[in-house]
Structure 1
């Protein structure tokens, strides 16, 4: 007898459409029960899951010095948000099991060669999905959120709701998980003979256009996240071409795109990662911080990053010390408020600071009551009272520009100057005003008599 072909074996296995529908219904029901079971497990751990999902938000807000809490606008919003969170998490966890049910349904209709491809591609596909989710979780979402918050500027207090945040994070992570499977889809299409590498090369420009449109659909309406989503998709498209046709030209194109991508990521890191101005060392009592983008004071802890534009404040029972990134050491006395203007430049709003200035080519500048103290490699004590500023140099020397005059203070000396003008004898001013008023009255009487 002649050997039975693969096509004949499949033909022999054909069953009525009703049995196919019955098997499909069975697979769908099993998948639903798996998701429901995992949903209740996730509900039990909902607070922990929210903490994990919330991490990109917490990192963003901590870097900006803002409140890390999520808001709810109604009593029932939190309940519905938790349902959404647990449902999406259960589907995500059940993803391999659901794929297995799909595989069991379509397996009988595939040729041996096709089944081999699926068994090879399925684990790699899942790995690519996880890679895309992690890319969104650790990179795209934190930097995207930081971009969206930073463009608000100062004086605007963002209020992020729990439901909106969960929707945004899950949409982006799931979308990126699917996007990262693009090279596998392209390779699979090539293997089954539908399209070849040359077809993908010919349609490259159209593919890039579609990628940007797709990125605009699945991301928030801002250019940063759209570009940061489209760029990996373009690189993945080139990876797909490279796996199908690993020519020298394809390798060079991929290397160029990868270099551009790394450069853009580095630029994003420099722009959207706020450089830390100072490291908080220790304190007694409560020290508060007002971030540059914030509108409310918050207790300062070692977890906070002190950036340019931030303001620190001690109260009557607290002191603080911190180390600037250039090595300058600052101690804040009680009832003191200091603002970080820029590199090697701070403003003493009120109170008293002791500052050990690190030597540098650029002099250190302290503004106090609209007066300026500059120095390098010296220890200076500066105290601001209501109308007076005291500058004492315990090491080195300092230059002070006060009331339009420039003066130098040497080691062991102190300079005291008043602010808001010089003091005067108010009684003399009143007497002079009365005399002038008397003369004006006499002049008016003469004019009338004439």
Structure 2
């Protein structure tokens, strides 16, 4: 008897999951919860693997800009070197896990999209990933080295630099992650323009105010010194201008399409 009841319940559940039947809000929330859980787990897995296998090697690579300049790296607390290795491991875990998290998020979104929408949004996801990586590389390979040169050599021979490993790693993390995130600015502007949430005229009219706010944002995201803020503020301004250029192209194409449709209607 119990077996028959169980079979009926399973059959009823399967009937409620027929192909094409839309999911309820609760089912969508449960699916999104799985995405969040996957993101946390994959980051933790990468963190553990990196920390156990190559954290010391990565720390030596991260410290190379100082070593190449003959700057002594010290630790002033018993657990400071250990903490620095954990920070570096976590940073690289986020960077390596980012494509997997993005892929899982895409698997959550894709079933609700048409084929053309999948192509468009798939391109958006790819560009978002590319911009994030470019932001990280730009920060580390160019801006970070410039910042080190300025801070270390601006003191001249007045004092000998002895930099704490934890403060150095913390500075690097606070420096690089904001660049990765803020490099998404042109894509965000393009999407908002495409959805007609913002207009090109608004972007042009508020340009000087937006640039001021971008420098304020740079001051919030970077370590508390003017040079770091300028080094993030200037690329942000350039990225905003690239976004405005993309918005102008989108607006022009939309206007051409509307004019063509209007002309076709008049001829019909």
TM-score category of the 2 structures, normalised to the smaller one: 0.7 to 0.9
1:300-339 pair list within 5 angstroms: none
Do 1:56 and 1:138's aligned partners in 2 also have CA atoms closer than 8 Å?
no
| Greater relative contact order (Cα < 8 A, sep 6+) | 2
Structure 2 equivalent of residue 52 of structure 1: 61
1:281-296 pair list within 5 angstroms: none
Rg larger in structure: 1
The SS at the match of 1:70 is: strand
Seen in structure 2, the aligned counterparts of structure 1 residues 35 and 16 have a Cα distance that, compared at 3 Å, is same
Q: CA separation in 1, counterparts of 2:236 and 2:77?
A: 38
Please point out which of 228, 240, 243 is paired with 1:240.
243
Do 1:38 and 1:94's aligned partners in 2 also have CA atoms closer than 8 Å?
yes
Q: Which runs of 5+ in 1 are unaligned?
A: 1-11, 248-450
Structure 2 equivalent of residue 20 of structure 1: 28
Do 1:144 and 1:224's aligned partners in 2 also have CA atoms closer than 8 Å?
yes
Q: CA separation in 2, counterparts of 1:163 and 1:106?
A: 39
Q: CA separation in 2, counterparts of 1:13 and 1:240?
A: 39
Structure 2 equivalent of residue 102 of structure 1: 105
Q: CA separation in 1, counterparts of 2:120 and 2:198?
A: 16
Q: CA separation in 2, counterparts of 1:27 and 1:129?
A: 20
Do 2:175 and 2:223's aligned partners in 1 also have CA atoms closer than 8 Å?
no
Q: CA separation in 2, counterparts of 1:194 and 1:78?
A: 48
Deviation of the 1:52 alpha carbon? 2.1
Please point out which of 121, 126, 130 is paired with 2:124.
121
Q: CA separation in 2, counterparts of 1:115 and 1:207?
A: 32
**Which of structure 1's runs of 4+ aligned residues deviate more than 6 A?**
none
The SS at the match of 1:245 is: helix
Deviation of the 1:206 alpha carbon? 1.3
- For residues 21-55 of structure 1, the C-alpha deviation after alignment (integer angstroms, 9 at most, x for no partner) is 32122222222221222112212111221122223
Q: CA separation in 1, counterparts of 2:84 and 2:196?
A: 45
Q: CA separation in 1, counterparts of 2:157 and 2:100?
A: 48
Please point out which of 45, 67, 70 is paired with 1:37.
45
TM-score w.r.t. length of structure 2:
0.78
Task: Pick the structure with more helix per residue.
Answer: 2
Q: CA separation in 2, counterparts of 1:58 and 1:125?
A: 33
Do 1:56 and 1:137's aligned partners in 2 also have CA atoms closer than 8 Å?
no
Do 1:186 and 1:240's aligned partners in 2 also have CA atoms closer than 8 Å?
yes
1:185-196 pair list within 5 angstroms: 185-196=188-199
Number of residue equivalences: 230
Deviation of the 1:187 alpha carbon? 0.8
Q: CA separation in 2, counterparts of 1:210 and 1:178?
A: 16
Q: CA separation in 2, counterparts of 1:24 and 1:126?
A: 20
Do 1:81 and 1:166's aligned partners in 2 also have CA atoms closer than 8 Å?
yes
Q: CA separation in 1, counterparts of 2:54 and 2:64?
A: 16
Structure 1 equivalent of residue 161 of structure 2: 158
Deviation of the 1:111 alpha carbon? 6.0
Moved more, 146-155 or 227-236: 146-155
Structure 2 equivalent of residue 291 of structure 1: none
Deviation of the 1:73 alpha carbon? 1.2
